[in-house]
Every structure is written in C-alpha cells, then in structure tokens.
A and B are shown apart, each in its own frame.
Chain A
C-alpha cells in the first residue's frame, strides 16, 4: 500500500542529503580556505553578535527550511495520483482512506527525518565555524521542539487540502510559499481595520505565522512583527492545520471519480 510512497520519499530524501552535504562541504571548504581558519555565520533574521545560539533555534530553522522544502516537494501526493494513476491506486485491496492515510504516514515520517537532517547539518556547520550552541532543556524548549517538528506537517496538510482535488498540484506547490509570505507581510502592515481583520482571518491557516521564535541572539519569522501567541498555542494551531488539512484532503479525494 505504501511502497510507492516509500520509493518517492527515498528519492526525495536522497536529494536532500546530497544538497545538505554540498552545503556543509562548501562551508568546510570556505572555512579551510579562510585566512582566519574559520568564517562566521548568521542564523535567522538578525545578525549574530557572536553569542551562543540555542539548539532549538537551529531546529526551528531546519524545520522552516529543510522541513518546509520537503513538505512542499512531497505535499501533493493525492493530486499526483489524480494525474492518471487512480485506476492503479483505487484497485488495490484497501479503502481510499486507508491508502491516503498510508501515504500521509510515510510522508510525515520523511518530513520529521528531513527536519532532523537539516538540524544535524546546521549543528555541523556551526561547529565548523566555531559558533557556540546551547543545549539546555526545559518545558518551554520541549514545547518549541514539538512546535517546530509540527511545522512541516502543517505545511504538508495545507498543501494537501489545497491540491487534493487537482491534477498534479504543481501550481499549488509553486504558489503556496509566495502567498503565505505575502499574507504574513500584509498581516503585519498597518492596514485599515477591515483589511487587517481579513488578513488575521486568512493567516489563521498560515503555518508561517506559527513558527515565530525569538531569543537573545536569534529571531525566526519575526521580521513582520510578533503574532503575540505562546509556543503552546502556536503548536496546537500547527497540529490543527496538519490534521485538519489532511482530513480535508482525504475527504475531497474520497469523493473523486477516475
């Protein structure tokens, strides 16, 4: 039931590993060639003044970049089935819901792995450039770890909800980042009350709103202003988008005809 999706995610993960290895290799090369023996890097939106970055900030960055990109790549599996493969998908001894759920589970595992691969790469890069990382754990950190791991799943759920009835889904993949970023910017602009209200409403389902993170030396997605939500609230919102988006996608897909 899930073999095709395992082949799909294996290939996507292979390309991610190659890309991350190339980035890390480039950093190592530049660092080795630098007259000072190393280069300094900037993580997140704000310039680093050389202080330590927490590992959770790196996880957030990895979730947004590696996890987000993979969620975009893998995020339209049902739309891809709609592109002429339903006769094969729907004549297996499983219900449409079982089939769609199997796909979602395999893809979700791949998204978690992608985020962790991105995280490991970032840790390695900071190590190469001798930038310190703090590893402290507390409740707030745990909440943020879960929240960041949920981001690619929410992005995946959103893409699926938008594409499950379409054929191919390339348009959704191509436009979703642009629209989501524009919505975040419009949300932060001092628009008239009615427009601001509309932006607030539209951004309720925008996962980018819920990955904001700030610490002394690091900011993530706060360039357009803070959303004022706690980590826990944001995490719950991302979980709702992930599960709700997928449920909406599966409901649409069940009703299609080949």
Chain B
C-alpha cells in the first residue's frame, strides 16, 4: 500500500552481471518524494547500469525496484523522464521533430514550458540532431525531459557537454522541479554540482554502494583539521596512533588530518607543531567521495585543486 511515507524510488538488493563482470552488486537505496539524490562514482562504478536496471532498460539478475510502491509499468513513464549519458536522439530528426515526438507520446507535454526551456538553452529547433554539438544534444534531451513536467527524473550526467552557464541552468531546473515535488535521481562527475543540488547521495565504486546518506549529515560526520606551515608540513608521529584520526595528508606546506570526532584534541596535537595557521572544517563532498573510494592520488589531486 502506498502512503505519503512510501519512498518514490526504492531500489533493493539490485545486482547485474555482464559476463564475468559484476556491474552492480547488491545496490540498495531509497529516495523520498521531492528529494534530489546524487549518485557519485568513478567511471565504470556501475551508475549507468544501475539507472538502466531501475528503468527496466536492462534486466537485473537480482533485486527489486519500486516507484511509489509499485513495480515499473510502461504507463509510469507518462510521469517519468530519463536523460541518458550518451545521446539517444535520432540524428536525422530535427529538434522540432523530437519535441513533436515528445508531445505525441506524453499527455503531460507542456508546449509553453518546452518553449521556455528552448529559450533558456538558446536552442535552434531547426537543426537535425546529428548537426548538434554534444552540449546542444544534452540541451535538447533535457528540454524533452523537463517539458512533460515529470514526477520522477532520472538524469545520467545531465550537464555533460554544456557550458558553465547552462550547467547552472540545469541545476536550477532540478532544484525547481524538486521544490515542486518531483523526485530526482542523477549522476555527475562534477562533485560540486552534486553538492549544490543533492540532498542525499550514494557513492558507488566497483558496482557497490560504499556510502549513502544525507549530504549535510555526511559532511558533518567527519572534520578536517587543516594546518599551513611556513616550510614543508612536518610528520607528526602522535597523529599516527590517534584513534580519532582516519587519515593524514601532507602536501607541501599543508597538512590535513581527517578526523571522526574529538577534533579539538587532534587540533591541539597539530597546533603543538607551530603551524602558521590552523582551522577545523567540515568535510566537503569531494573529500568524502575520495575517502570512500580510497584513491589517494585522487585525494592529493583534490587537495591541489582546492589549493588552487
């Protein structure tokens, strides 16, 4: 029975194997109505396969997906939109013909909204899809998706190829749609976008969900003590044995200690090494992601990026 507390999308113990590769391994998550759920993962993590299994485009080997308590039925697509990672547009059809196809397929198609979206993306409907850049193809796919005012949006790298201005528009559209009650499941390689739009995230790696939860709670769950020294950051032996310290990174003059709790004690230990400055920060999503997938080189790069 569906209640107002029934998750809009519920994925339980989903698994999908391609030959010997376990592309999706026992993945579970649920998304509440009006929520924006970001799926993060490295290339090949299983995000797209998860989306395909959720939408019935691929058949899972195990697990169950429910939408508002119901199994997927074709009629549900009347209130659901999907934007795939790679363009599925018909190259020989124009933008106008794609929109006409959408209009004739979905009763909820809203021509005024479609026009507003076309204006937003400055899109020329007279061009054939094969003549469009990757960004323009994304814009057309997004216009088709949002023009039916869906209750559920599944967006796989929705801003792929778009310029920063239009990427921002996509985030705004998602946030507006969620504010209007739509439920959104999306993936992006741009963690900053996920951090801005999503209220919940799941981090996938090698087919598994490593970490999932409320973005704010995840960010508050760990702190970063960041110290900048006049010279190279020293190794502080006391940190190695401290049970509160999950990881220590030294990058040039900067030392970062990722701590679970008891931040003040760790900060005092570092402060004893006489840094030029010291601060205690909430982790950002990038830190959480890199910590979860365990990529130290990526973490070092992330550190450099943040410093720049």
Identify the A interface with B (CB < 8 A).
Answer: 1, 3-4, 7, 84-88, 90-95, 98, 257-258
Contacts and interface: CB of A to CB of B under 8 A. Distances in A.
Interface core residue of A1, A93, A94, A257 (most chain B CB under 10 Å): A93
A10 to B, nearest CB: 11
A88 B104 contact: no
Contacts of B97: 3-4, 7
A90 B101 contact: no
A90 B72 CA distance: 12
Interface string B203-219: 00000000000000000
Contacts of A84: 86-88
A133 B202 CA distance: 74
B93 A258 contact: no
Interface string B60-100: 00000000000000111110111010111110010001001
A91 B104 contact: no
B56 interface: yes
Contacts of B74: 92-95, 98
Contacts of A3: 97, 100-101, 104-105
Given A86-B57, A87-B57, A93 B77 contact: yes
Nearest to B86: A84
A257 B104 contact: no
Nearest to A84: B88
A131 B285 CA distance: 82
Given A4-B101, A94-B74, A95-B74, A88 B88 contact: yes
A4 B55 CA distance: 22
A85 B58 CA distance: 14
A258 B97 CA distance: 23
A4 B88 contact: no
Contacts of B101: 3-4
Given A4-B101, A90-B57, A93-B76, 17 more contacts: A1-B104, A3-B100, A7-B93, A85-B90, A86-B88, A87-B82, A87-B88, A88-B88, A88-B89, A90-B55, A91-B55, A92-B74, A93-B77, A94-B105, A98-B74, A257-B57, A257-B59
30 contacts: A1-B104, A1-B105, A3-B97, A3-B100, A3-B104, A3-B105, A4-B93, A7-B93, A7-B97, A84-B88, A85-B88, A86-B57, A87-B57, A87-B88, A88-B88, A88-B89, A88-B90, A90-B55, A91-B55, A91-B57, A91-B80, A92-B74, A93-B78, A93-B106, A94-B74, A94-B77, A94-B105, A95-B74, A257-B52, A258-B58
Contacts of A4: 90, 93, 97, 101
Contacts of B82: 87, 91
A1 B75 CA distance: 13
Nearest to A88: B88
A258 B57 contact: yes
A90 B93 contact: no
Interface core residue of A7, A86, A90, A91 (most chain B CB under 10 Å): A91
A93 B77 CA distance: 5
A92 B105 contact: yes
Contacts of A91: 55, 57, 77, 80-82
Contacts of A87: 57, 82, 84, 88
Contact of B77 (A92, A257, A258): A92
Contacts of A95: 74
